[in-house]
Amino acid sequence: MSVAAAAKPPTVKLLIGGVWIESRTTQWRDVINPATQQVLARVPFATAQELDAAVASAKDAFKTWRKTSIGVRARIFLKYQQLIREHMKELAAILTAEQGKTLPDAEGDIFRGLEVVEHAANIGTLQMGELANNVATGVDTFSLLQPLGVCAGITPFNFPAMIPLWMFPMAIATGNTFILKPSEQDPLVTVRLVELALEAGIPKGVLNLVHGGEATVNGICDHPDIKAVSFVGSTKVGTHVYRRATLAGKRAQCMMGAKNHAVVLPDANREQTLNNLIGAAFGAAGQRCMAASTLVLVGESREWLPALVEKARTLKVNAGFEPGTDVGPVVSCAALERVSGLIERGILEGAKLELDGRNPSVPGYEQGNFVGPTIFSGVKPGMAIYEQEIFGPVLIAVEVATLDDAIRLINDNPNGNGVALFTQSGAAARKFQEDIDVGQVGINVPIPVPVPLFSFTGSRASKLGDLGPYGKQVILFYTQTKTVTQRWFDDSTLSVGVNTTISLR
């Protein structure tokens, strides 16, 4: 074998009917390490025929999987969570190499998905119906939560472990089969998670994996045998997915863009608040739909800004796999160009650049997609850096006089994914959580993503669809309710003639 052949990157496979296959597509994309520009693998854009084959496999598997006992399903996910724990370091290393997160951030990505897997193992109590005895004389009524059929998930680049684990475990645990389409930018950790799911005992055809771009997304939305679609990603694509999927008669849930505000009152615990803001704004290089990207300084808390800038200045920018790294690269050259462009636009529109993170020196990784912590002050609604989701390590600061002003500012923003308030006043906290029109609220918690006992509840322009992607709501999303009313007669029951109604006495 030649050196060139030996260096050729591997191809990412499709999973159809329990078999890993090489795509026959002619369209491929490189999976690139964002810190080094090394090509890690080549990912295929699946053909329409390959998507059809995956759906056909899932449809066939549904016939038996839907009748598999709750105990069998639960034990598979008990085994799966064990395998994820055993392979945590391996999974984190894969994720860091292809997405750029620091290793601790990568482990956090996986762990938050692992929590949903653990929740899926509790499916026996989550999928219980209801019973009313003697709704009429000798008549009982009960409801069943039954699976829909073939479901699908379309996941983003920024959480390539957590978001897939939000989707397919709950869908499969409730008795559905699943088509998963991960981001084409960083599919490798998702592939490894799927391999572990098969090792845990998920049968052939129950979980299928396809790769691709717009054509694959449209194919999923349009396919007549797919009953429900779950999506996490940008507002533009999410709106398209929701409209296209619902027009095709499917259920759809789309978690989309955000502009999350963090409100600081002067009475807040200063050091705890500053540390929380640094982590929430710059962790994962700001590439989180729940990042606290907009700081709202109320009254005298504006005096905290210099201390915040100095803390941010100490953060270490480096490759995610280097020890001590605080901020890794953004995912792609295009992402770096977009973030840098928005920083420049913020300057042109009159915001004050307190900390410029562009073009940081990262010895040994000069080709990486790096931008360091960046902070603006004097930001006003209407500026591009306020109106757009920057999706990079950029924190913008807005100053207001009162808590009421902060609430009006946030409620006027079209997005409603998450918001946080930092205060030591219970009265202020209660007013804020009552009056704020945002789906997820943190009180002295900078990123208020709920644990799987509750549901992810982003709102307004950040979400399309009524039900969240995990927790109690997702059980309703992945099941349909069947109500049964029954009456039984024994041989001693006297005939009373023809009766077309059930007596309610």
Catalytic residues: 289
Those residues whose C-beta lies under 8 Å from the C-beta of residue 191, and which sit 6 or more positions away, are: 12, 13, 182, 209
Beta strands 131-136 and 139-147, pairing class: antiparallel
CA distance to 43, 354, 385, 387, 464, per residue, from 330 (Å): 20, 21, 17, 21, 27
394 within 8 A of 376, measured Cβ to Cβ: yes
The two structure tokens encoding residue 78: 């008990």
Question: Strands 150-154, 226-232: parallel, antiparallel or unpaired by DSSP?
Answer: parallel
Taking the mean position of all CA atoms in its chain, how far away is CA 350?
34
Whole-angstrom distance, CA of residue 424 vs CA of residue 268? 5
**DSSP code of 248?**
T
The torsion of the CA quartet 454, 210, 155, 388, rounded to 10 degrees, works out to: -160
CA dihedral 297, 407, 273, 417 (to 10 degrees): -120
Rounded to whole angstroms, how far apart are CA atoms 206 and 15? 10
H/E stretch holding 442: strand 440-443
Nearest to 39 by CA among 9, 64, 78, 77: 9
With H, G, I as helix, E, B as strand and everything else as coil, classify residue 347.
helix
Torsion of CA 328, 334, 336, 340, to 10 degrees: -170
In angstroms, the Cα distances linking 432 to 13, 417, 421, 449, 487 are 49, 15, 8, 18, 52
Residue 144 pairs with which residues in a beta bridge? Answer: 482
- Token output for 86: 């055993």
Specify the DSSP element, H or E, that contains 41: strand 39-44
Task: Please classify residue 249 by burial: count the beta carbons closer than 10 Å to its beta carbon, then call 0-12 exposed, 13-18 middle and 19+ buried.
Answer: exposed
Q: How far apart are CA 293 and CA 312, in angstroms?
A: 13
| Half-sphere CA count of 279, side-chain side, radius 13 A | 12
E-strand ranges in 95-212 read: 131-136, 139-147, 150-154, 177-181, 207-209
Cβ contact 314:307 at 8 Å: no
